[in-house]
Structure 1
Amino acid sequence: MKIITNRLSGVQVEPARTLRELLVRNRDLRMLWLGNLISVCGGWFSAVAVFAMVYEHSGAGLAAGLTLAVRYLPGVLAGVWGGVLADRADRRAVMLVTDVLMAALAAAFLLADDPGRLWLVYPLTFASAAAGFVFQAARNAWMPSLARPEEYPLYSAAVQVNGLVFQALGGAAGGLVVTVVGWRWAFAVNAVSFLLSAWLTATVRSGDRSAGSPSHGWLRSLREGVTVAVRTRVIAALLLLEALFCLGLGGTITAMTYLALRVHALGEGGTGWFYAVQGAVGGVVLVLAASRIRAMGPPGRHLVIGLSCLVEGGLTMLLGLPVGVLPALVLWGMISAAEVVYGPAAMTTLLTATSNETRGRVTSLWSATATLSLGVSAAVTGALVDRMGVAVFVVLGLLMAVAGAAWLAVHGRAPAASGTGAAPGRPVVP
């Protein structure tokens, strides 16, 4: 085990072995983690509220699908250029500005609570998502530098688990609040959560807040990021995997909304129960699996990536069967268990092939690839689900399973990363 000297105390410490160790020892990483955790909780309140409001005023699966599509598509443009910004500007400042902007936009959703003003949901969703992708690009470029390379799987799990834990709480609480007192309070909670996130971010000043002064223009910076992604074999492979897998994944969220509200008639906050199961099961599995993934080498992580996609696709196809609400929730939990192990394995693979100078652009390209596929899938599925019903899950699951099988066939032996890999001892992250 590599021993590293703490720069402040001079005491030699080993890299963290568990999520708990990482968060207890690393104060700055913990503050950013808490800020993101709080804003994610508010985001799930808002997600449940938006779907309930759209269904109430429109009653159409297509409308819900378009809402998801509008949420995803800004990642293609805002996310990519947000990555360029993250590699050119102060990453902490970008996060602070976008947090405050997202708080204002969250409160503005209250203006759309009327059939005649429902159209406001779409520009507000687009603007909120665009700001969120810029925030994410800055966070993914800065926050990894607060961890050590040996801690990348734990770092990735920490970022993912906060969303899952508060997805469970936010989904259940959001469903309860929307059902009992309506969606207006959910939007207010979301706005406050972004302000709390900004306050916690403001307390952190360490890490690689900047990649250095750029010596050329924005377009050339973007081209450099694309070149790194294309020429680094493992990054290019992950981009292709994301594109195909997310064509299935994006539609499952739209179809789940139909399943909860139309098939099982769980009420206005019905999607919250599915989100809660996904968050609870995924959070527990991720905490248990993070240390194991940390101990793996590249071959093991490559195997985890492929099997996760393959198993999730197979389980998703089973949702197309005519089952009751309890079996559907159990299946949804199993799908989450298969999905969550993908994040630490894939992010660690990506980070070890990326340097601090291009981290914002490469991770944003990866995110943009996923969000483009998610958005297209959500919109198409929204139109199909009103005609096909739950049978659409079979098509969506097949796409995910094919993506996993293709990865295993080509990368099952874990080819070594080539191109611009980060130095083994250099701290970098998502």
Structure 2
Amino acid sequence: MSNQTAIAIFKAQKGYSRLFTAGLINGIGDRFTSVAVLALVLQLTGSGMAVGISLGVRLLPYLFLAPLGGVLGSKFPRKYIMIATDVLRVPVALTFLWVDGEDKLWLLYIASFLLAAGEAIYSPVRKSSIPLLVTKDSLLTVNGLEQLMSGCVLILGALSGGVVSMWFGPEAAFVMNAISFMVAALLIYGIDIPQNTNRVNEDKRKIGSPDKLKTKVDRQQKTSKTRALWILISGSITLQVIFGYELLVPMLNGLDNVLISVYAVQEFEAGDIGVGAFYAALGIGLSLSFFAGRYVTKGLLGVAIGGLMIDDFLLMSISVSNHFTMVFMLYILLSFAGGTGNACLDTLVMRETPSAMQPVIFGLLSAVGNTLLGLSMLVAGWLLEWMEPRALGFAGGAGFSIIAILLAGYALIRSKKSGEFTAPWKVF
């Protein structure tokens, strides 16, 4: 992966360049609201529980609506689904303007839930549109660009969102988010996204015996969608490990998502700027992870699992550090490892899954991961009422090593039984 390759993709794939720009603008606006909401909740309540609730309600809608988004994406034009969800979120984004006291927190929670509901439908539809706009050979590069986009969103959205919230008040951030939804919808309107593809040879791909895969994929056309989905997942150790990843990792990621704001506001007393700075550090790491792609050509699953081991060390280091600058740097490294792993996992899903089924697969992954992440945030908020933030962070960090060992062990055991591959670090 290289800068030149990325530029070539933008020039050759105009549809993806518009999708990328829309995602960037949409994400920055949404991050403005996220930072403003977190700071507002802490100012009004000073409660870790309230922070956990405000973050958790943004992820709980994924349980039901992300699969719905996947189903809609397989039945209706994906472009118009994304446009509709953007436009409908405009009035919701402006609802935060009426939250002016602790007695209005219920309105903040409802608006956060509705914004998340739109994103839950939007996200799997957008992600499943990517393989329809770019070539198969550029998938890893494009997924690296997606991490770069997420990094830019955090850098520009979180840091500038903190500044805007501090200087002009959270109201300005909420208005800018509403505007960003409209701009993103206009950009997506100009994209021609095919509803279906005829890339039969690309769809008939999976680890293991090619003949076995072709038989199973062909059989999918004659069975129910549920049966076809079961055939797909049961025949791919890679997809099984990825689903395991989405079941286990979010349980600990929720702790980190709550703690990053608590660290900034309560441990370092840095206020809005501190929250924005730490999220910007995550953005820098995600942006840098794009350049790591040039060194990752094989063993994508092993890279993702290895990243969990690195996360373990970094999170425990963050929990014991008393220096703001050091924590800032550690968050960069943490996000770098996570972004590299996420690009690898998304690429594997796109390679393993027929294009017609990708909205459903991404919808399920989004539902599982984000729902568990939301529940984890709620639990984290409750635990903060009983535990010191640093102790909770240290315990959460240690858990990533356990998850990495479990996933690697499962992949090794299953590979020995099936004979499909020898080790997770040798996959693709």
TM-score by length of 1: 0.86
Alignment partner of 1:204: what SS? coil
Identity %: 24
Q: Does the 8 Å contact 1:255/1:385 carry over to 2?
A: no
Aligned residue number for residue 400 of structure 2: 400
Distance 1:310 1:181, change over 3 A: same
Cα shift readout 1:43-69 (whole Å, capped 9, x = no counterpart): 111110000111111110100101111
Quote the RMSD (CA, aligned, Å). 2.3
Aligned residue number for residue 63 of structure 2: 76
Q: Does the 8 Å contact 2:285/2:339 carry over to 1?
A: no
The CA distance in 1 between the partners of 2:48 and 2:227, in whole Å, is 38
Instruction: State how many pairs are aligned.
Output: 390
Aligned residue number for residue 265 of structure 1: 269
Aligned residue number for residue 308 of structure 2: 309
Q: 1:277 aligns with which of 278, 281, 291?
A: 281
The CA distance in 1 between the partners of 2:234 and 2:165, in whole Å, is 45
Distance 1:104 1:146, change over 3 A: same
Q: Are 1:241 and 2:240 matched, yes or no?
A: no
The CA distance in 2 between the partners of 1:50 and 1:223, in whole Å, is 42
Alignment partner of 1:229: what SS? helix
Q: 2:183 aligns with which of 196, 199, 213?
A: 196
Q: Does the 8 Å contact 1:153/1:345 carry over to 2?
A: yes
Aligned residue number for residue 53 of structure 1: 40
TM-superposed deviation, 1:239: 0.6
Aligned residue number for residue 150 of structure 1: 137
Q: Does the 8 Å contact 1:90/1:209 carry over to 2?
A: no
Aligned residue number for residue 114 of structure 2: 127
Alignment of 1:151-170 (within 5 A): 151-170=138-157
The CA distance in 2 between the partners of 1:210 and 1:271, in whole Å, is 43
The CA distance in 2 between the partners of 1:412 and 1:34, in whole Å, is 40
Higher helix share: 2
Q: Are 1:377 and 2:376 matched, yes or no?
A: yes
Q: Does the 8 Å contact 1:229/1:362 carry over to 2?
A: no
Distance 1:408 1:38, change over 3 A: same
The CA distance in 2 between the partners of 1:359 and 1:48, in whole Å, is 31
Alignment of 1:219-368 (within 5 A): 221=225, 224-225=228-229, 228-283=232-287, 285-293=288-296, 296-297=297-298, 300-368=299-367
The CA distance in 2 between the partners of 1:80 and 1:29, in whole Å, is 23
The CA distance in 2 between the partners of 1:139 and 1:325, in whole Å, is 36
TM-superposed deviation, 1:292: 2.7
Alignment partner of 2:190: what SS? coil
Gaps of 5+ in 1: 1-14, 212-219, 419-430
TM-superposed deviation, 1:333: 1.4
Distance 1:209 1:178, change over 3 A: farther
Cα shift readout 1:201-247 (whole Å, capped 9, x = no counterpart): 00011433689xxxxxxxx6466545533453321221111211111
TM-superposed deviation, 1:17: 7.2
Q: Does the 8 Å contact 1:316/1:335 carry over to 2?
A: yes
Q: Does the 8 Å contact 1:84/1:222 carry over to 2?
A: no
Aligned residue number for residue 411 of structure 2: 411
Aligned residue type for 1:378: M
Cα shift readout 1:124-179 (whole Å, capped 9, x = no counterpart): 11111011110112112222211111111112112221121121011110111111
TM-superposed deviation, 1:287: 2.5
Aligned residue type for 1:287: F
Alignment partner of 2:272: what SS? coil
The CA distance in 2 between the partners of 1:88 and 1:137, in whole Å, is 13
Aligned residue number for residue 210 of structure 2: none
Aligned residue type for 1:68: L
The CA distance in 2 between the partners of 1:325 and 1:25, in whole Å, is 43
Distance 1:30 1:401, change over 3 A: same
TM-superposed deviation, 1:187: 0.6
TM-superposed deviation, 1:412: 6.3
Cα shift readout 1:336-371 (whole Å, capped 9, x = no counterpart): 111110122111111111012211001111111111
The CA distance in 2 between the partners of 1:323 and 1:279, in whole Å, is 22
Q: Does the 8 Å contact 1:82/1:133 carry over to 2?
A: yes
TM-superposed deviation, 1:310: 1.4
Aligned residue type for 1:307: G
Q: Does the 8 Å contact 2:33/2:174 carry over to 1?
A: yes
The CA distance in 2 between the partners of 1:248 and 1:377, in whole Å, is 7
TM-superposed deviation, 1:415: 5.3
Aligned residue type for 1:394: F
The CA distance in 1 between the partners of 2:124 and 2:192, in whole Å, is 18
Alignment partner of 2:386: what SS? helix
Distance 1:415 1:200, change over 3 A: farther
Distance 1:116 1:315, change over 3 A: same
The CA distance in 2 between the partners of 1:401 and 1:91, in whole Å, is 38
TM-superposed deviation, 1:318: 1.7
Q: Does the 8 Å contact 1:39/1:193 carry over to 2?
A: yes
TM-score by length of 2: 0.86
Alignment partner of 1:388: what SS? coil
TM-superposed deviation, 1:38: 0.4
Q: Does the 8 Å contact 1:317/1:393 carry over to 2?
A: yes
Q: Does the 8 Å contact 1:87/1:141 carry over to 2?
A: no
TM-superposed deviation, 1:113: 2.9
